Amino acid sequence: MSSAEVREDNARLSPPRRPAIKDRHGLFVVPTAPFTVLDGSQYPLAKRLSALKKWGQSTHSFLTLYPGIKYFTSQDIEGFIPLTINNQFIMVIAQPVCEAVTGQLLLKALKDYADQHDYSIAAIPADETGKDMFDQAGFTSFFVGREPIYDLHNMAKQSKSVRLALGRAKRKGLKLAPYSAKYRPQLKSLCRRWQDSRELPAMGFLFQLRPFEQSKYKRYFLVLNAHDKVVAFLSCSPIYGKNGWYLEDLIRDCSAPNGCTELLVTGTMEALAAEGYDMVTLGLAPLAGLPKKDRERPILNSILRFIFNHTTFIYHFKALEHFKAKFKPAAWEGNYLCHYRSKSRLSLVANLLREFMPYDMSTMLRHKLGKWGSRKA
């Protein structure tokens, strides 16, 4: 089969390099069916959901059900690697959704696929468990930030700043409310206004605003003012493997009173705790928690620390970490970028930027300058 035919057939692997690994009993496992890249129409939702409910440990695992995601798998195994493929670059969404032994099998096969097609691979954001999986498969990984984990069984005492904010929200007549279909038009309108107010244009990959995608499996919490108007809402995605929730999209009207966000986050946590869930997370704080020195990657670490400390005009790294810390997480979990066959760190960064920001730097700067100008006017 020619390389062109392979691409047309959506990437079936040739059998000679099919990997074998040992299972938990020490026996070699070799699937007989080929590994394949499937899209959502070829890989039933019920099968993907089944895998998520067994092994969906990553904060972003539920996002693998969203449109545009492909699935690297085989008929002989249960589970998959969620990914996108663009410009000879494979982007893995977080990490494999399967048990550890199957993950090694899938990653070895994915490396073979990349070798055959001269592709490079990057996975982001992998948690500590995912990093171990990629490390064992021969990937290179480095720290890219951390995410807060809130223990719903042992919630910390609220900080003074949060208590003051909640008092302001109460005095303004704000209240937390469960989702009702009658508020859906308001939520959509709020999303449009929120996106229009952003300093950056609409992002790509995991940062796309898609609060209503797969909505039947999500939870929504609203903040209403005294006139029954939605001034903020949270869209929460399940993390099945941890009996928890990712507070994925927090959308707030720019005119909402102070204290609105604190009411929304603390109220959501309390409601989910009362229902018996174990944890929630607000997701990755990019570049937060970088070590002062990294002996293995001193130059890269210095560059990333400089970006975190001195590029607020591009992205509010410090403010985002501070916001997530104010709710007193029980722990911070490291997040990593894991890669294979990257021609250089520069090409890796360029590929990542193309995935996250589907526009060039000049477009971003023009957008930010336009927002700053409109605010001053």
Closest CA to 167 of 256, 258, 228, 233: 258
Sequence length of the chain is: 377
* Confidence (pLDDT) at 253: 95
Q: How far apart (Å, rounded) are the C-alpha atoms in residues 251 and 235?
A: 8
* Confidence (pLDDT) at 10: 47
Q: Cα angle at 65 between 36 and 35, to 5 degrees?
A: 10
Q: How far apart (Å, rounded) are the C-alpha atoms in residues 139 and 330?
A: 30
* Confidence (pLDDT) at 328: 96
Sign of CA dihedral 153, 235, 326, 177: negative
Q: How far apart (Å, rounded) are the C-alpha atoms in residues 43 and 341?
A: 27
Question: For residue 216, what is the DSSP state?
Answer: G
* Confidence (pLDDT) at 26: 54
Backbone angles phi, psi at 235, to 5 degrees: -105, 125
Superfamily of domain 157-281 in the CATH hierarchy: Gcn5-related N-acetyltransferase (GNAT) (3.40.630.30)
Query: Per-residue pLDDT tens for 105-140?
Result: 999 999 999 999 999 999 999 999 999 999 999 999
Query: Per-residue pLDDT tens for 142-164?
Result: 898 999 999 999 999 999 999 99
Average pLDDT over all residues of the chain: 85
* Confidence (pLDDT) at 343: 63
pLDDT < 50: residue spans in the chain: 1-17, 367
Architecture category of domain 3-146 in CATH: 3-Layer(aba) Sandwich (3.40)
Q: How far apart (Å, rounded) are the C-alpha atoms in residues 364 and 32?
A: 48
Q: How far apart (Å, rounded) are the C-alpha atoms in residues 350 and 346?
A: 6
Q: How far apart (Å, rounded) are the C-alpha atoms in residues 300 and 375?
A: 35
Q: Encoding tokens for residue 103?
A: 């993950």
* Confidence (pLDDT) at 283: 95
* Confidence (pLDDT) at 171: 95
The reply to whether domains 3-146 and 157-281 share a CATH topology is yes
Return left, alpha or beta for 189; rule: phi > 0 is left, psi -120 to 50 is alpha, else beta.
Answer: alpha
Q: Encoding tokens for residue 51?
A: 């895998």
Domain residue ranges of the chain, discontinuous segments joined by +:
3-146, 157-281
Place of tokens 């939520």: 187
Place of tokens 């984990």: 149
Residue spans of alpha helices (H) in the chain: 3-8, 45-55, 100-117, 128-136, 160-171, 184-197, 260-274, 298-310, 317-325, 345-356, 361-376
* Confidence (pLDDT) at 349: 66
CB crowding 252-264: b at 16 or more within 10 Å, else e = bbeebbebbbbbb
- Cβ atoms of residues 187 and 223 within 8 Å: no
Query: Per-residue pLDDT tens for 304-351?
Result: 888 888 877 667 889 999 999 999 999 999 999 999 987 666 666 666
Q: pTM here?
A: 0.84
* Confidence (pLDDT) at 1: 42
- Cβ atoms of residues 327 and 266 within 8 Å: yes
Neighbour tally for 113: CB within 10 Å: 23
- End-to-end C-alpha distance for the chain, whole angstroms: 62
